[in-house]
Structure 1
Amino acid sequence: MAAYNSYTDQELFVLLQQGDQIAFAQIYERYLQLLFRHALDMLHDEDEARDVVQDIFQMLWEKAGELEIHTSIRSFLYASTRYRVLKRIRHSKVADQYLSTLRNEFESCVASTDQSIAEKELTKKIEAGLAKLPPKMREVFELSRVHELSYKEIAEQLDLSDHTVKRQVSNALKIMRETLNKSLSLFV
């Protein structure tokens, strides 16, 4: 291994292309710390920086026979590290956007489900309130609120006075309010 210390990067790369493990180990020793610091400066995360540098050296070992480096090994390794870091940052941003979209969809779905449940509960409470009304009062109330007839139209249809219709609707509203207020106070 001592003889390999004196080899130039170019000589080591030629040996590496022939599958020389000692040449690879020498390149690894020469550039590991430099590439790690370079990656760390860009990522500000030691684990991420280590992963990037390991990926670079793994690629160098696996593809050494196919690589044609027209610059120095140093320049190639620095450029590869920078490219890997930028690719990781870009992937991280895409993943963050995807997670944000999923989070928003989930929250929207939960809100929609909560709203649907609340509407069903309110409908049940209204129906319970309507069930408490005497039959004639319920009929007057439904004609007023559901069918949207005026007091005069209800009075004519049911053969009642306007005053009686108004009083029946007022009493029905009072009973409905009390029923709903009791139900809502359970949730507060």
Structure 2
Amino acid sequence: MNQISATDDTVLLDLMRKGDQQAFAILYNRYKGVLFTHAYRKLRDWEEVKDIVQEIFSGLWAKRETLEITDNLNAYLFKAVRYKIINLIARKNTASIYVDSFQSFLTTYADNTDHLVREKMLCSIIDAEINNLPPKMRHVFELSRKENLSHKEIAEQLNITEQSVRSHVKNALHILRLKLGMFLFVALLLNK
């Protein structure tokens, strides 16, 4: 073993290509420490560093028969660490973007949903109170507020005076203001 451990990387790579596990173990022990240190300086996370170094050496063993290292092994391994780190950071950034986007969606969706629920409840309350108006007043009010007809158009359609239309709308608003309170009254006017 002492004779093999002193052998240079090229010879060890050739032996490893032929399936020599001892040569692979020597290369692993020779480079794992410096690769751990190099990766840790960039990531500051031992678990991620261990995964990266393990992936690199697992890949080295899995591709041993077809492996073509044009630089020296040292340069090859450091490039492999750099690419793994870049890929890890890119995945983290992508995941972070998705998480932020999803969180923003959830917040917006919750706000919109809450708003829609409140708006629907408010409309139900208003509609119920409009339905409680006297029939003629309710009809005039609905033509004014829901169908957006002018007082003149309502008067012609119902064969009553414009003054009578104004009076019905005014009285309906007064009743609704008392029943619904000022807040709902303002909301009613804004919905028009």
Q: Could you say which TM-score interval applies, normalised by the shorter chain?
A: 0.7 to 0.9
Shift of 1:160: 4.5
RMSD, matched Cα = 2.5
Return the alpha-carbon distance in structure 1 between the equivalents of residues 136 and 48 of structure 2.
75
Q: Are residues 1:63 and 2:89 paired?
A: no
Q: 1:143-162, aligned counterparts within 5 Å?
A: 143-155=143-155, 157-160=158-161, 162=163
Shift of 1:7: 1.6
Give the secondary-structure state (helix, strand or coil) at the position aligned to 2:86: helix
Structure 2: gaps of 5 or more residues: 185-192
Q: 1:13-162, aligned counterparts within 5 Å?
A: 13-155=13-155, 157-160=158-161, 162=163
Give the secondary-structure state (helix, strand or coil) at the position aligned to 1:61: helix
TM-score normalised according to structure 1 size: 0.82
Alpha carbons of 1:93 and 1:161: their partners in 2 closer, same or farther (altered >3 Å)? closer
Question: How many percent identity over aligned positions?
Answer: 39
Alpha carbons of 1:153 and 1:50: their partners in 2 closer, same or farther (altered >3 Å)? same
**Which deviates more from structure 2 when the two are superposed, residues 123-132 or residues 95-104?**
95-104
- Counterpart of 1:131, as a letter, is N
Post-superposition CA distance 1:86-141 (Å, at most 9, x none): 12222222333333334444444444433433332222112111122111221221
Alpha carbons of 1:153 and 1:82: their partners in 2 closer, same or farther (altered >3 Å)? closer
Return the alpha-carbon distance in structure 1 between the equivalents of residues 178 and 49 of structure 2.
65
Alpha carbons of 1:159 and 1:68: their partners in 2 closer, same or farther (altered >3 Å)? closer
- Counterpart of 2:120, as a letter, is K
Shift of 1:5: 2.4
| Partners of 1:125 and 1:183 within 8 A in 2 | no
Structure 1: gaps of 5 or more residues: none
- Counterpart of 1:95, as a letter, is A
Return the alpha-carbon distance in structure 2 between the equivalents of residues 7 and 180 of structure 1.
91
Shift of 1:62: 0.8
Give the secondary-structure state (helix, strand or coil) at the position aligned to 2:174: helix
Q: How many residues align?
A: 183
TM-score normalised according to structure 2 size: 0.80
Alpha carbons of 1:85 and 1:146: their partners in 2 closer, same or farther (altered >3 Å)? same
